[in-house]
Structure 1
Amino acid sequence: MKTNWEGKALLPWSYFPPCTDKFNAFAIHGSGEERKYEALYPVLPHELQEGQEPDFHRLEYFKDLNLKELTGEDWKQPESDIWKSLTM
């Protein structure tokens, strides 16, 4: 019955690719004709084209993310076995 909700997620640092400096967040609600797509930084309405489908890979709509602002200037991103295995 509430109209607002809040969610929190704790992501391990190992999930972030090395040198992450851009970010966006997405949500999908409903199904069929009622399905709605939302983005923290969406494609601007005047840039949408007729019949355009959602595309979560449009990096030009991601915004700058400075992880050191969140973690402190001395923070160094830990190496990740997830990403190391993809770059070998």
Structure 2
Amino acid sequence: MNYLKIFKVSFFIFLDISGILLGVFLMSLGFALGVSITIPQWLGWLVMLIGIGAFFLHLGHYFNLRYMRWLFGKNYFIEK
């Protein structure tokens, strides 16, 4: 198994795990806001930064944009 394939597999595992953790984080943040708990300003900026990063990552992945090929290579999908 070459190093590029190991990187691809570990990247997509990391992507799945981070997506799950992001969902848990956003659900807990939504619950806190729903019960009128105020959040610090830095947490609001952190959520916005995570959202921007996720937007561009998934947009580039869905439309196969050039910066995704530049970052992860020409065929960055896991091939069976």
Q: Identify the TM-score tier after normalising by the shorter chain.
A: under 0.3
State the structure with bigger RCO (CA 8 A, min sep 6), 1 or 2: 1
TM-score after normalising by structure 1:
0.20
TM-score after normalising by structure 2:
0.21
The structure with the greater share of residues assigned to strand is 1
